[in-house]
Amino acid sequence: MDNKTNVNTPEGTNVAGIKTKLTFDDQVVKKIAGIAVSEIPGILGLSGNAITNLTDKFTSGNNPTKGISAEVGTKQVAIDLDVIGEYGKNIAQVFDAATKKVADEVKNMTGLSVIEFNMNVDDVMSKEQYEEKFENKKKDDSSEEQHKDNPTRVLE
C-alpha cells in the first residue's frame, strides 16, 4: 500500500519564479519517528502487528517503520506507534520524552507539526529478555542467510 500524500507542502512560487511543491511520503515520516524513538531510553524496540511480523520473516527484519503508522496532511502529522517498554522504567516519562523527540525531529526535517502522538506499549521486558528474544532471532536469521549465500554440497 503506497500512501503518497501529494498535498503536504510548502507550495508556491520561489524567488526565481519556479512553481514549487514539496511532498513527503508517509514512509518518510514513519522512518523519522522510528529512528527518533529508537534513541529514547526506556524503549527497547518497536513492535508490530501480525502482518509486520510476517513481513519481517521475508525481509532482513531491520525495518525502522515496523509498528508505526502515520497520517500526513498538508501541514500536520498524526503518528501511532507500538513499542516494547523497558521493565523498571517510568513509562509515562518515557512517553513524554518520545513525544518531544518525535515532534522535534519531524518538525526539523519536514516542517510538519505533529498534532497527535499515540504510543501503545505492547510489552515490557528487561534489556536481557529483549536481547535474548530478538538478538538470538537476528543471529538465527543471519546464519540462515549465510547458508543461502554459501550453499555446501554434501557428497556421499
pLDDT of the chain, 156 residues: tens digit per residue: 444 444 444 567 677 788 888 889 999 999 999 999 999 999 999 987 433 343 343 344 556 678 999 999 989 999 999 999 999 999 999 999 999 999 999 999 999 999 999 999 999 999 999 988 877 665 555 555 555 555 544 454
Residue 87 φ then ψ, to 5°? -60, 135
pLDDT at position 59: 40
pLDDT at position 139: 56
pLDDT at position 97: 98
Among all chains, which residue has been given the C-alpha cell 512517553?
A: 95
How many C-alpha atoms does 5 have within 13 Å on its Cβ side?
18
Residue 78 amino acid letter = A
Asked whether the beta carbons of 111 and 149 are under 8 A apart, the reply is no
pLDDT at position 75: 93
